[in-house]
Chains A and B, each alone.
Chain A
Amino acid sequence: MSDTTQKTDTAVDNPAGPTAPAPAPAKQDKTRSLAQDAFRDLVRNKMFIISAVLIFVIVTIAAFPGLFTSVDPLACDLKHSMEGPSGSAWFGYNFQGCDVYSQTIYGTRNSVIVGVLTTAFSLVIGGLVGVLGGFFGKWTDALLSFVTNVFFGLPLLLAAIVILNNFRDDKGMRNAGVMAVVLTLTVVGWMSMARVMRGAVMQVKQADYVAAARSLGASTSRMMFRHVLPNSITPLIVVATISLGAVIGAEATLSFLGIGIRPPAISWGVMISEAQGRISSGLHPLLFPSGMLTITVLAFIMLGDAVRDAFDPKLR
């Protein structure tokens, strides 16, 4: 994993003149793993810094919404209905007279929870399917690839609507809670992770260090978890980061269609869905949650791109 000798050569050759700034970082590095290398790249990447700061702020909002607003998001007053942004309500009021800023802040939590949990579950399921299929090959791979292809054949959004439509609350109304949305999006969305993982594992499996471990008598599980998994997980992490943004967008789409999280629960999708009917009398209840949604999705895509660039050896 670590090529120590290669870098010391350049350090010796480096004349240390002020006119040669390019090979300067090679000066003090002796042993650097791929991860350390990638981290150094990331810290110098503007996209990474911006997206990391954005994600930090969004997660803080999701965890402690009370820090950002003291207004109760469900304390609505009809006399403020559709009032535009002002000093007291930065994002204005919606049709019901609720404070849009406060709702946007409190809506962050549900959107982020759906994104994080769905991605985590898909990572585990997809990762497992991919590792097993890629590592064992033969009929295991054939079976798992078949299952993956079957799920891929279904239109994603449609399958999600069909599943979510079956969730009812105790009054028999269509109402899916946050967990129902998480599970549904996991069921319809784990496949791309499985494919990425399978590809990576099949590549790593051929490596000499796996053959070495095998000839030293390492058990299958040891080879899989100590050697193959750590070396093939990077592409999976990249896909997961990018798809986290996509999942948050998918949650909003389901809420927009009136089938995901329902009011009185707040999420950006619910807010946008409520605002769309009144779009001609005022855009602000639509624009602010859409803006937050866009920024969040953008932040995760940028983060994923930055991580991929840092870990992709082809671009060095």
Chain B
Amino acid sequence: MGRYVIRRLLQMIPVFFGATLLIFLMVNVMGDPIAGLCGDRQCDPATAAQLEKEFGLDKPVWQQYLTYMGNVFTGDFGTAFNGQEVTELMANAFPVTIRLTIVAIFFEIVIGISLGVLTGLKRGRPVDTSVLLLTLVVISVPTFVTGLLLQLLLGVKWGWIKPAVSSEATFDELIVPGLVLASVSLAYVTRLTRTSIAENKRADYVRTAVAKGLPRHRVITRHLLRNSLIPVVTFIGTDIGALMGGAIVTERIFNIHGVGYQLYQGILRQNTQTVVGFVTVLVLVFLVANLLVDLLYAVLDPRIRYA
């Protein structure tokens, strides 16, 4: 187990550097990092040269990248162009988005898996068909339409929730935004669980469990569900990274000041340090989540052993 984890960690290192280099190049080479400093006008050449020198932008790109990465590993993500520390922005933004992601994952697990088990067991019945159609519709409606409509109906028309989330962004304020963020993945989780359950329902170990006279709920939870969860866990694990990065739309609709909001502002204002810093952390989250998923396999299925 220990050796497996170390091998996986070593494999993660090149991917981490590759992905961060890619985003670094996208921002610094394709874009113009100092363009954002002079507002919508062009910088005059003297100012531009001065600024480039100040931020070390006159050096070759590989040197800039190495300097940046060196700083990151000492905990220095640089300063945004408005003088605020990027780490300070992160300290404000990440807790909000993590709460939002927790709410979303909670909905995916509770609603998605329950609906999946229900439809998988009743395959072909009316419940199954209607839930399946519903998931298709949920997948097809774009997240921002779901978000705007829920905000309008629940927030403005009926007044059940506040249309905009306050800067504290407590859990109860994040219920509806979390549901919106989760909606598409929730539908996928339902479909995945359904397929997996329907496949495993005919497995020998399920028949054995039933023949032993185990109560139905025990057969379903301990035998059927546990064995059917592997593809679902994979999906939810990879989804953690996607949810945190993809919250841009949801955070914009509900005015949540999380990672997506900061990144969006950073990109529009060409705030290089903010964008690269946040994406670096998101890449790390994505890689670690994937590793945890692989380790969870062994917990779910004792036949899988990591030497």
> Do A and B assemble together?
yes
User: Beyond A158-B263, A276-B148, is A298–B23 a contact (Cβ under 8 Å)?
Assistant: no
Say which residue of B22, B140, B143 sits within 8 Å of A154 (CB atoms): B22
- A58 contacts B by Cβ under 8 Å: no
Chain A, residues 146-160, CB within 8 Å of chain B (1/0): the string is 110111011111110
Say how far B249's CB is from chain A's closest CB, in angstroms: 6
- B95 contacts A by Cβ under 8 Å: no
- B9 contacts A by Cβ under 8 Å: no
Taking CB atoms, residues of chain A closer than 8 Å to B16 are 153
For window 114-146 of B, CB contacts with A under 8 Å fall at: 136-137, 139-145
Taking CB atoms, residues of chain B closer than 8 Å to A149 are 15, 18
In the complex, the answer to whether B148 meets A257 with C-beta atoms within 8 Å is no
B69-77, B83-91, B221-229, B275-283 - interface stretch = B275-283
User: Beyond A162-B27, A249-B142, A301-B136, is A156–B282 a contact (Cβ under 8 Å)?
Assistant: no
In the complex, the answer to whether B136 meets A298 with C-beta atoms within 8 Å is yes
B54-62, B169-177, B264-272, B292-300 - interface stretch = B264-272
Distance A158 CA – B245 CA, assembled complex (angstroms): 7
Say how far B104's CB is from chain A's closest CB, in angstroms: 15
Q: Nearest chain-B residue to A173 (Cβ)?
A: B40
In the complex, the answer to whether B142 meets A253 with C-beta atoms within 8 Å is yes
Say how far A9's CB is from chain B's closest CB, in angstroms: 27
Majority SS at the chain B contact face: helix
In the complex, the answer to whether A157 meets B248 with C-beta atoms within 8 Å is yes
In the complex, the answer to whether B30 meets A154 with C-beta atoms within 8 Å is no
In the complex, the answer to whether A153 meets B264 with C-beta atoms within 8 Å is no
For window 152-184 of A, CB contacts with B under 8 Å fall at: 153-159, 161-163, 165-166, 172
Taking CB atoms, residues of chain A closer than 8 Å to B18 are 146-147, 149-150, 153
In the complex, the answer to whether B143 meets A253 with C-beta atoms within 8 Å is yes
Say which residue of A151, A283, A298 sits within 8 Å of B22 (CB atoms): A151
Say how far A172's CB is from chain B's closest CB, in angstroms: 7
Taking CB atoms, residues of chain A closer than 8 Å to B42 are 172
User: Beyond A153-B18, A253-B142, A294-B137, is A162–B23 a contact (Cβ under 8 Å)?
Assistant: yes
For window 11-30 of B, CB contacts with A under 8 Å fall at: 14-16, 18-19, 22-23, 26-27, 30
Q: Nearest chain-B residue to A314 (Cβ)?
A: B199
- A302 contacts B by Cβ under 8 Å: yes
How many residue pairs bridge A and B at CB < 8 Å? 116
Say which residue of B140, B148, B246, B264 sits within 8 Å of A286 (CB atoms): B148
Taking CB atoms, residues of chain A closer than 8 Å to B246 are 155-157
In the complex, the answer to whether B287 meets A153 with C-beta atoms within 8 Å is yes
Distance A256 CA – B268 CA, assembled complex (angstroms): 14
In the complex, the answer to whether A153 meets B19 with C-beta atoms within 8 Å is yes
In the complex, the answer to whether A280 meets B263 with C-beta atoms within 8 Å is no
In the complex, the answer to whether A290 meets B23 with C-beta atoms within 8 Å is no
In the complex, the answer to whether A150 meets B136 with C-beta atoms within 8 Å is no
- B241 contacts A by Cβ under 8 Å: yes
Taking CB atoms, residues of chain B closer than 8 Å to A294 are 137, 140-142, 145
- A212 contacts B by Cβ under 8 Å: no
Distance A301 CA – B188 CA, assembled complex (angstroms): 12
- B152 contacts A by Cβ under 8 Å: yes
Taking CB atoms, residues of chain B closer than 8 Å to A256 are 142, 144, 249
In the complex, the answer to whether B26 meets A159 with C-beta atoms within 8 Å is yes
Say which residue of B27, B136, B242 sits within 8 Å of A156 (CB atoms): B242
Say how far B21's CB is from chain A's closest CB, in angstroms: 8
Distance A158 CA – B270 CA, assembled complex (angstroms): 13
In the complex, the answer to whether B140 meets A298 with C-beta atoms within 8 Å is yes
- A197 contacts B by Cβ under 8 Å: no
In the complex, the answer to whether B286 meets A153 with C-beta atoms within 8 Å is yes
In the complex, the answer to whether B142 meets A157 with C-beta atoms within 8 Å is no
Say which residue of A150, A153, A165, A280 sits within 8 Å of B156 (CB atoms): A280
Q: Known contacts A155-B241, A159-B26, A272-B142; can you find 15 more A-B pairs with CB under 8 A?
A: A146-B15, A150-B15, A151-B22, A154-B23, A155-B244, A155-B245, A158-B248, A158-B263, A162-B23, A163-B30, A257-B249, A257-B252, A294-B142, A297-B140, A301-B136
A and B contact pairs by CB, cutoff 8 A, 26 listed: A147-B18, A149-B18, A151-B22, A153-B15, A153-B16, A153-B19, A153-B286, A153-B287, A154-B23, A155-B241, A158-B248, A159-B22, A161-B267, A162-B27, A165-B267, A172-B40, A257-B248, A257-B249, A257-B264, A272-B145, A276-B148, A279-B152, A290-B141, A290-B142, A294-B145, A301-B139
B residues contacting A by CB (< 8 A) are 14-16, 18-19, 22-23, 26-27, 30-31, 40, 42, 136-137, 139-145, 148, 152, 156, 241-242, 244-246, 248-249, 252, 263-264, 267-268, 270, 275, 279, 282-283, 286-287
